[in-house]
Structure 1
Amino acid sequence: MSSGPLVTPDPRVASRHSGTPGTGFRADIQGLRAVAVVVVILEHVLGWPAGGFVGVDVFFVISGFLITSLLLKEHDRTGRVSFADFYRRRVRRIMPMAVLVLVCTYVASSLLFLGDRFRSTAWDALWAGLFASNWRFASVGTDYWQTDGPVSPLRHYWSLSVEEQFYLVWPLLLVLVLHAAVRWGRAGSASQWATGAVLGAVVVGSIVFALWEVGHRPTVAYFSTFSRAWELGVGALLAVATPLLARIPAPARPAYQWLGLTGLAVSLFTVSAQTPFPVPGAILSVISAALVIAGGVGGQRLMFPLTNRAARYVGDISYSLYLWHFPLFVLIGAALPAGRHTVPILTLGGTALLSVLSYHLVEDPIRRSSWLEGRRTATPRRRTRTTLIRRAAGLTALAATVAVVATVTVRTPSPEVAAHPVAITSQDQLEAQIRTALDVAEWPVLTPPPGKLDRLVFTDGDGRGCRPAVPDGNDCAVTAPRPRRLAVVVGDSIGAAWLPLVRAALEPAGWVVRDLTYAGCPFLAADTVSPIDDITRSCPGHRETVRTLVTKLEPELVVVSNAYHQRFTKAGQRASLTEWEQATRTARERWLAAAGRIVALQPPPVGLDPRTCITRLSAPPDCISTLSQEDQSYGRVDRRVWSARGSWHIATADWFCVSERCPIFVGGVVVRRDRNHVTAEYARKLAPLLEEALVPVLAD
């Protein structure tokens, strides 16, 4: 997941409004920021704790509290809020580091990624620079928990975009409420209640909308500003309520904060990718962060987990930590696809180094400078020759570090030129080509070009499902007269990907092949869950349409193929092997009884994604995967189910692997366009093998 420390003002600024005595520095908030960024980084890089992504919710609350406190403080002091000053401060605080990381990531991506992946990263950088990347990721259907495809190195900018969009509206709304209260003679506590009422409406409205959006558009809901506004609103409510919170008895304040820390710790281990987000998934972490902040209003006690020097320093550099860690993780992972332990070590070390350098040399000096100020409000610190030399040397070292990481990626030329694949005629010939691919050390010319894999889509409407169950699907009905030799292909996107193979094997022999597949909707007798909610809702109707067509048409041949590891409706969990077997067996016995012959075509073994592992730095051995035990277990179940009379199982692992080792290309042809979908070029290459496998089926 991508989340992170959102940019907020210095905690000492806000706490002065909230009545904290002394210097007013909120060390507890700085420590809370440190906890949040650390768990986010650990979850991204190490996958632990599972709920580490709730750190973004903590930062939304912190941001809402501090920014609103700053605005209220200015209004109390001057009777107005200067939007120009507010946005100048935001630009000075946010833009330098955000732009630095964007530029460095863009340069490194251009030297590492191929074709479409680089172009996609460039677009991500543009949208992130405009603080609209959350809508970019929502519009392209990004799954926040995506693990089976290329991940944008800039995906983490979504949370920064949400925050800045909120602050385009919230200061204006706050000023309008305060101005109206003063105009109506309701200043003081009355204006406080009016502001609280407006904020309460924003929070409630956002939660209600988030509940709807989670149910109807879960992928969009995660990135949606409207579904996230309530989290910033809770922090803002805390700022408005500081006069009340300051009355909390001193002995009770530590209890508030310890209770908040405990709740945050619980959320780290109880929230997971299966939890609906942002509601109700973020509620515990938001309430917990609010308790920590509320407990520190009006006076602080020493809370070692939050107020020690280490925690405060990590809180200071949290923005830099957040911005650097995710690009480094993705870029290093792409450069070292086989570095299971090396990637986390390099990511954590590189993040720490770059964050310390960029904080002291870029972020903090610019934040404290008078850049963008219309006039000097204070006497600038005297810059000695030594100081200037030290900063120049530090910036040079920072740029050199990034340049070395980026330019080292030019070692291998891009395998962009398409080759003419050599057709195969037997399994022995294919095995020889696989062994050759396993032994080569340099990239040959490949087809389809690796840089264009992102553009590969199903053709002729394949995988679109059947109308009327799927409004935008295909008209699957077979018009009269019915073909003498009719074959239909059913299943999800795996079945759709096999269509070029089935057509190449059957159509030259006079068969008519009809596509009845629906990507994301496996042909199983069970309710399944797709990452795309529209598919989940349309899937049962599509299956019923296919069942009706098979019963009516009585095709001579049905080819079925589904992806393994399906999620069933029950809690959205992956189906067990027993559940998979039962759903498959029921589909065969009850849904396909009218078919003449049934062939189950095993899905390709899941492997490395060529869009991720084929880079300018990688070599063919970096993209070799192994046949997993899960794939083998599902394969055994498939053979058992389809061994009944009238059905056959065609194993395909030997079409991709030798001795359980599977290359990313065979005979110059890329075998998969992602982790488990065969390319059309490789599918057609395998046609002679399918023809051979169908001989006993069609002769029976």
Structure 2
Amino acid sequence: MSASAQDFRPDIEGLRAVAVAGVVAYHFGLKALPGGFVGVDIFFVISGYLITRHLVAEISETGRLDLLRFYARRARRLLPAALFVIAATLAAGALILSPEEQALYSKGAMFASAYMINLWLIRWSFDYFANDATSNPFIHYWSLSVEEQFYLAWPALLMLAARLERFAVSRKRRTAPAFRFDAIPDGKPLHTFPGIALKPGKRAIIVAIGVVGLVSFILCAWLTSVSQPWAFYFSPLRAWEFAAGGLTSMAPARLLQTRPLLGRALSLTGLTMIGTAYLTFSEDAPFPGFLALLPVAGTVLLLKAGAAGARDGYSPNSGRNWVNAALALPPLQWTGRLSYSIYLWHWPVIVYAGMLAPELTPIERLCCLALTLALSALTYHLIENPIRRNGWLTANAARALVPALLLTGTGVAAAYGNARLAVRDLDPQQRIIAASAAEPSTARARAGCVQDYETVTPAPCVFGDGRRVIALFGDSHADHWSTPLIEAGRKNGYRVVTWLKNSCRASRISVWSAELKRPYAECDRWREQAIAGIIEARPALVVISELALASGRKMAGRGGDTARQDAEWRAGLRSTLTSLSKAGLKVAFIRDVPFNNANVDTCVARALWRDEAPSRCDQTRAYAANDAMAAVERDIVDSIPNAAYVDLTDRFCNATVCHAFIDGKLAFRDQHHMATPFAESLEPEVEKRVISKVGR
């Protein structure tokens, strides 16, 4: 919310610069600031502070809210630049993305245009095989969607609270005075908190904001450990951050005005809290939850302490509050003014740059930053600021709202049309690639056969009606073998019973879940029940496959204590195999498939679209196959009685290269799961090397 000239807070403009700098640093891969993503939370608190301050002031002065004028200001401020960047991003995507990607991400643009992409991303997050979010050029619009949803609900909440209290006071006095905060009997405040005089209505607003904030925080903290995407993206669960800013705007600053040393201490503490979050948080942290309290509280302290120093203009020589004075320095003011445009531009710039040059050098990243700043300055000076301050649009709310609604509808329609047009003229090979990537495995196609993260009780699925039983046990890397195994079993008189759970290895090793942002305890409980159930079922053969430890490290992008991890993995694999072997069961352990450094379906689709050979998506065997770890794995399996190691890597790789496109088929649907049509083609190999050799 743009403040009037007399209310302008340069330290808030500087705080915006700090917030957007953290977000950009994080997205541009600056490892020194792994928690830069909390800059979004700083923006949320600032928005709650400024919007609440403005709305309460209007209610106090007029007794009402001009909602049309409020929404017109919001539309002029946010909509033109946002839609312009969406349009430019779609246009650039037509040159960079494959048609399938254009269609998918155009849906993201459609939801972004309607300020509902946060809801779309919640659904996206629960799709195990959803495209990598880091390649979605519109994902950053989720925070703008949360803000817009806040703007819709917040004015109504404040006005309702004020009206309800005023109505109660009027009934009590058996009068019905005009609804004005300043129309107070005897000219005295009606309500007081310790040391705080409150006019009628303001107490109710404080209580309403406090209750909403508390309930929102409790639910957010709980869901962060239960279903993190809801806690992260769902606007009611982020309302507590806006509420924190709102309460801060209504808290008195007189104490700080008379004690400048206290103000400096609070500002320094707040800046330290934000800096600590920037330096120590990571994307694996259970966020937002309790962790978000650190940057939120830091922002609250800076805002409140800065309010006490507003009278002296934050002069660095004033001696009152050098922290907030530093935020008023010209470089931070310039960045803060551009912060909205910078936020809009930085993500599509770095995403598209990463697609064109997957291994960006530091110099290339600096060039991306320069391009972001240049585009942001142009957008601010040519679109954002002129439209926001246009005299004709500011004269009447309808003059801004009607074009805003038309622009929003146009943005949604254009994104939808682009999604349809992108795939209209796909050639047959492109359609085959898209269909191959989308087709689920035989087990996954049946609902509930590959169990979700929260499930702890196994639910085996049965395929076929043969007299003998093969048990397929493991994670999604066991699941993609279900297609050829079920067909091979049918031909040989077996029925296949699946024991499958997302991201849950058969090996007894406890892991951290990146999806749940916490230890994956459900996997440990599920695995033990699955092993007991398989032993009780007495199958003729147990087939195990799982994500290789080396592949898991590559996906996570970190190493950690690899020696300890290796030891735990070896012990866990041996433990599971020993339990099955001691029960007298035969075990076939299928070596994991090669790992690719990018989504193969996307890479191949782009290659074909650009008339390039799919071989550009191949990987070196040294990177993809990790033969050294496979040798250790083989030694463990071969040391267990009744266990056999099955290696089908030769179907993917030669001596030096692992292929992405094999015999005219897409080999992988993403980085590390086989495409189902290619998996079907491996049925003869599975029959030969698993059933005929091991299972008889």
Q: Report the TM range for the smaller structure's normalisation.
A: 0.7 to 0.9
Q: Which amino acid aligns with 2:618?
A: I
Q: 2:634 aligns with which of 639, 653, 670?
A: 639
> Is 1:671 equivalent to 2:654 in the alignment?
no
> Is 1:594 equivalent to 2:602 in the alignment?
no
Confirm or deny: 8 A CA contact 2:535 2:583 kept in the other structure. Answer: yes
> Is 1:513 equivalent to 2:519 in the alignment?
no
Confirm or deny: 8 A CA contact 1:489 1:515 kept in the other structure. Answer: yes
- Cα distance between partner residues in 2 of 1:250 and 1:532: 45
Aligned pairs for 1:455-604 (under 5 A) are: 455-461=438-444, 464-465=448-449, 475-476=460-461, 483-484=467-468, 486-528=469-511, 530=513, 539-540=523-524, 542-565=526-549, 576-594=565-583, 596-604=585-593
Equivalent position of 1:74 in the other structure: 58
- Cα distance between partner residues in 2 of 1:128 and 1:206: 24
- Range with bigger deviation, 123-132 or 463-472: 463-472
- Cα distance between partner residues in 1 of 2:254 and 2:139: 39
Confirm or deny: 8 A CA contact 2:476 2:502 kept in the other structure. Answer: yes
Aligned pairs for 1:638-657 (under 5 A) are: 638-644=633-639, 645-657=641-653
> Is 1:189 equivalent to 2:198 in the alignment?
yes
Confirm or deny: 8 A CA contact 1:491 1:523 kept in the other structure. Answer: yes
Residues 158-179 of structure 1: CA distance to partner in whole angstroms, max 9, x if unpaired? 1111111112111111122333
Confirm or deny: 8 A CA contact 1:141 1:220 kept in the other structure. Answer: no
- For 1:487, what is the secondary structure of its paired residue? strand
Confirm or deny: 8 A CA contact 2:466 2:495 kept in the other structure. Answer: no
- Cα distance between partner residues in 2 of 1:541 and 1:595: 23
Q: 2:242 aligns with which of 228, 232, 241?
A: 232
CA spacing shift, 1:699–1:162, aligned 2, 3 Å: closer
Equivalent position of 1:176 in the other structure: 160
Equivalent position of 2:180 in the other structure: none
Residues 425-480 of structure 1: CA distance to partner in whole angstroms, max 9, x if unpaired? xxxxxxxxxxxxxxxxxxxx47x73334552222354684489996998554699x
Equivalent position of 1:609 in the other structure: 599
Q: Which amino acid aligns with 2:36?
A: G
> Is 1:311 equivalent to 2:332 in the alignment?
yes
Deviation at 1:311, TM superposition (A): 1.0
CA spacing shift, 1:373–1:668, aligned 2, 3 Å: same
> Is 1:92 equivalent to 2:88 in the alignment?
no
Equivalent position of 1:439 in the other structure: none
Confirm or deny: 8 A CA contact 1:131 1:164 kept in the other structure. Answer: yes
CA spacing shift, 1:611–1:318, aligned 2, 3 Å: farther
Residues 611-644 of structure 1: CA distance to partner in whole angstroms, max 9, x if unpaired? 4434245844542333438944542332232112
Q: Which amino acid aligns with 2:569?
A: W
Residues 233-283 of structure 1: CA distance to partner in whole angstroms, max 9, x if unpaired? 111111111445654522332222222111111111221122222111211
Residues 283-316 of structure 1: CA distance to partner in whole angstroms, max 9, x if unpaired? 1101111111111113235346422211110110
State the identity as a percent: 28
- Cα distance between partner residues in 1 of 2:156 and 2:665: 57
Confirm or deny: 8 A CA contact 2:441 2:482 kept in the other structure. Answer: no
Aligned pairs for 1:403-442 (under 5 A) are: 417=427
> Is 1:625 equivalent to 2:604 in the alignment?
no
- Cα distance between partner residues in 1 of 2:692 and 2:396: 87
Confirm or deny: 8 A CA contact 2:472 2:542 kept in the other structure. Answer: yes
- Cα distance between partner residues in 1 of 2:356 and 2:665: 22
Confirm or deny: 8 A CA contact 1:37 1:55 kept in the other structure. Answer: yes
- Cα distance between partner residues in 2 of 1:351 and 1:143: 31
- For 1:558, what is the secondary structure of its paired residue? strand
- Range with bigger deviation, 644-653 or 616-625: 616-625
Q: Which amino acid aligns with 1:189?
A: L
Deviation at 1:33, TM superposition (A): 0.7
Q: 2:229 aligns with which of 219, 228, 233?
A: 219
Gaps of 5+ in 1: 1-8, 17-22, 378-405, 419-444
Residues 56-112 of structure 1: CA distance to partner in whole angstroms, max 9, x if unpaired? 111111111111112223233333321111110000001001111112222333443
> Is 1:286 equivalent to 2:296 in the alignment?
yes
Confirm or deny: 8 A CA contact 1:521 1:535 kept in the other structure. Answer: no
Q: Which amino acid aligns with 2:89?
A: T
CA spacing shift, 1:248–1:636, aligned 2, 3 Å: farther
Residues 639-675 of structure 1: CA distance to partner in whole angstroms, max 9, x if unpaired? 2321123212223443323344333212221111011
CA spacing shift, 1:664–1:371, aligned 2, 3 Å: farther
- Cα distance between partner residues in 1 of 2:308 and 2:133: 49
- Range with bigger deviation, 549-558 or 271-280: 549-558
CA spacing shift, 1:483–1:306, aligned 2, 3 Å: same
- Cα distance between partner residues in 2 of 1:489 and 1:289: 52
Deviation at 1:692, TM superposition (A): 4.9
Q: Which amino acid aligns with 1:364?
A: N
Confirm or deny: 8 A CA contact 2:443 2:482 kept in the other structure. Answer: no
Residues 516-544 of structure 1: CA distance to partner in whole angstroms, max 9, x if unpaired? 32333222324445456699576456434
- Cα distance between partner residues in 1 of 2:146 and 2:515: 22
- Cα distance between partner residues in 1 of 2:515 and 2:547: 16
- Cα distance between partner residues in 1 of 2:610 and 2:437: 19
Residues 316-345 of structure 1: CA distance to partner in whole angstroms, max 9, x if unpaired? 001011011112222232233455657634
- Range with bigger deviation, 458-467 or 89-98: 458-467
- Cα distance between partner residues in 2 of 1:150 and 1:50: 15
- Cα distance between partner residues in 2 of 1:512 and 1:454: 27
Confirm or deny: 8 A CA contact 1:131 1:160 kept in the other structure. Answer: yes
Deviation at 1:127, TM superposition (A): 1.4
- Cα distance between partner residues in 2 of 1:226 and 1:592: 51
Q: Which amino acid aligns with 2:470?
A: A
> Is 1:34 equivalent to 2:33 in the alignment?
no
- For 1:280, what is the secondary structure of its paired residue? helix
> Is 1:265 equivalent to 2:275 in the alignment?
yes
Equivalent position of 2:172 in the other structure: none
Confirm or deny: 8 A CA contact 1:450 1:610 kept in the other structure. Answer: no
Equivalent position of 1:680 in the other structure: 676
Deviation at 1:54, TM superposition (A): 0.4
CA spacing shift, 1:245–1:65, aligned 2, 3 Å: farther
CA spacing shift, 1:632–1:199, aligned 2, 3 Å: farther
- Range with bigger deviation, 167-176 or 236-245: 236-245
Deviation at 1:583, TM superposition (A): 1.4
Q: Which amino acid aligns with 1:491?
A: G
Gaps of 5+ in 2: 170-183, 185-189, 192-196, 317-322, 399-417, 554-559
- For 2:440, what is the secondary structure of its paired residue? coil
- Cα distance between partner residues in 2 of 1:225 and 1:595: 54
Deviation at 1:601, TM superposition (A): 0.8
Equivalent position of 1:437 in the other structure: none
Confirm or deny: 8 A CA contact 2:438 2:669 kept in the other structure. Answer: no
Deviation at 1:696, TM superposition (A): 8.4
Deviation at 1:560, TM superposition (A): 0.3
Confirm or deny: 8 A CA contact 1:492 1:519 kept in the other structure. Answer: yes
CA spacing shift, 1:699–1:265, aligned 2, 3 Å: closer
Confirm or deny: 8 A CA contact 1:43 1:50 kept in the other structure. Answer: yes
Aligned residues: 616
CA spacing shift, 1:414–1:193, aligned 2, 3 Å: closer
Deviation at 1:555, TM superposition (A): 2.3
Structure with the higher helix share, 1 or 2: 2
- Range with bigger deviation, 586-595 or 466-475: 466-475
